[in-house]
Structure 1
Amino acid sequence: MIEVTFAQLQGWLVAFLWPFARITAFMAMAPLWGHSSVPNRVKVGLAGVISIIIAPVLPAMPEAPIMSWASVGIIIEQIVVGLAFGFVMRIIFAVVQASGEFIGLQMGLAFASFFDAASGTNIMVLSRILYMITLLMFVALNGHLMVLETLVMSFQTLPIGMDMLNANAFEILARYAGTVFASGMLLALPLVGSLLIINLALGILNRSAPQLTVFNIGFPSSLTVGMTLFMVLMTHLGDFLERLFSQGLEFMQGLIELLAQVN
């Protein structure tokens, strides 16, 4: 007859529960797994399967009773770490969405928006198109597997039950959010610059020849030139996204190491 002691049962529970908290928080925040179209049962089930698979190779767990305030603190700590990793991935995907917003505003497509259930806000059509392309490129380049590998390896560099996390890492994470505007504008700059020149030319034409209806000329011109330049931009989008994914993964690895450095 197989007998299971209370100490063994607690060891099994903590080996599953604490990594499960970090992985679940990450999947709830990450764009691919955290999308509203993915059922919550699938998210929780996938996090549970990953937790069971990696449990035998994890470092030793802290000796804290599972039903204690120390265990609650560890769970909260793991949730914060998982949310931080997921926030990095969300920033990466927000770059292309911001770029689509910049391009759409300059092309005069601000009215072409629809409700996005994932974010709960209205987004432009170009932002949605770029987001879906980025999502497909991320999967095609095995980015989801590399992110999961980085998340699993984080248990070695950032083991469960550390005394405290480095608070400076969260400040750097907040500053990294500026990538949304910097990289987003960098991607949209060729189209925004070209369309700005067209708008300036139309403004000069309106002042020199007021009898012309600039609105009837400006919108078709901006839309035609914008769509043409957008097709040209698509030929270089793959290289841009590859660099963006690489920078995001490098930042995530650096964030893990920084969180592990206690002042």
Structure 2
Amino acid sequence: MIALNFGFGALEGEFWRLVFVMTRIAAALFAAPLFGATTVPPQVRVMASGAVAVLVCNWTSVAAPPNLLSLVGMLAVAQEALIGLAMGFVLQLSFAAPIIAAELIGGGMGLSIATTADPVSGAHSPALGQYFSVVLTVLFLGLGAHLNWFSLLVESYRAFPPGSAWFSGGRMALVAGFATQMFSTALLIALPVTLLLLLVQVMAGIISRSAPSLNLFSLGLPASVLAGLLALIASAPLLTDRLSDLAQTAVAQSGALLEK
């Protein structure tokens, strides 16, 4: 299998087949927003990848390259990692939409400086972004979208078995097209709140021009924060619908990568 013989015969061949199958699964879990979080220990990812790989080896007839250390074998491993990273990266694009929407809303409310460390990505994100991310995560898990994503990950071995042609410019363009949908979804999420904040800021500007003695910062910032909170409460049902559609769209986009 890898030009090394440890004397275990067929058992050794099945072991390297399992390791080869784990490549695509581990890459997908590494790039996925929930399973690839910094708070998830690497041991948990390895165990999850091994568990899914055992199912794939039993359900599909995936064959590993005869020699993994050869050029053909290394190219096959790289292609497996590329497919897994692409499927996980599509989920990352979908989960980034609420963060962008929170940036727009926070800038209008004057809360752009209120950032906190994101335990999922390890980077700093706006406080509202944490709220949106938690809501999207709950909806993603509650709707069973993670199970559908795992089903697509297993189905990818039937659609594109190892050694088949998957990498193409069209698929990379498809991933880039998903990025444009991310920005449009973020705009749809932030539009109701930012529209109300725009009206509040226009009213604050009119009042400051009519009464120059008033301090614009002492009047405009509390009004923007209060209006933003009221808008978030009023648009909570709409936000839930948008995030539910986003969770389903994320899985649908991952499935679109498997279409020939």
TM-score above 0.5: yes
Aligned partner of residue 228 in structure 2, secondary structure: helix
Listed as ranges, the gaps of 5+ residues in structure 2 are 1-6
Given the alignment, which residue of 172, 188, 191 partners 2:190? Answer: 188
- 1:128 — aligned with what? 130
- 1:247 — aligned with what? 249
Given the alignment, which residue of 41, 44, 51 partners 2:43? Answer: 41
In structure 2, what is the Cα distance between the partners aligned to 1:212 and 1:37?
48
Structure 1 position 227 matched with structure 2 position 229 = yes
Deviation at 1:117, TM superposition (A): 4.7
In structure 2, what is the Cα distance between the partners aligned to 1:117 and 1:93?
14
Alignment of 1:1-263 (within 5 A): 6=9, 8-9=10-11, 11-61=13-63, 63-163=65-165, 165-257=167-259, 261=260
Residues 170 and 10 (structure 1 numbering): CA distance in 2 closer, same or farther, change over 3 Å? farther
Any conservation in 1 of the 2:97–2:185 contact (CA below 8 Å)?
Answer: yes
What amino acid is aligned across from residue 33 of structure 1 in structure 2?
F
Deviation at 1:119, TM superposition (A): 3.1
Bigger drift between 105-114 and 13-22 goes to: 13-22
What amino acid is aligned across from residue 73 of structure 2 in structure 1?
S
In structure 2, what is the Cα distance between the partners aligned to 1:78 and 1:108?
45
Aligned partner of residue 235 in structure 1, secondary structure: helix
Residues 68 and 10 (structure 1 numbering): CA distance in 2 closer, same or farther, change over 3 Å? farther
Deviation at 1:14, TM superposition (A): 4.3
Bigger drift between 71-80 and 229-238 goes to: 229-238
In structure 1, what is the Cα distance between the partners aligned to 2:106 and 2:166?
44
Any conservation in 2 of the 1:64–1:70 contact (CA below 8 Å)?
Answer: no
What amino acid is aligned across from residue 121 of structure 1 in structure 2?
A
Bigger drift between 44-53 and 62-71 goes to: 62-71
Deviation at 1:74, TM superposition (A): 0.8
What amino acid is aligned across from residue 196 of structure 2 in structure 1?
S
What amino acid is aligned across from residue 175 of structure 2 in structure 1?
L
**Deviation per CA, 1:31-72, whole angstroms, max 9, x where unpaired?**
110111110110011101110122022234255323322111
Any conservation in 1 of the 2:33–2:95 contact (CA below 8 Å)?
Answer: yes
What amino acid is aligned across from residue 108 of structure 2 in structure 1?
Q
Aligned residues: 254
Percentage of pairs with the same residue: 28
In structure 2, what is the Cα distance between the partners aligned to 1:36 and 1:66?
30
In structure 2, what is the Cα distance between the partners aligned to 1:41 and 1:48?
11
In structure 1, what is the Cα distance between the partners aligned to 2:62 and 2:132?
43
In structure 1, what is the Cα distance between the partners aligned to 2:151 and 2:62?
19
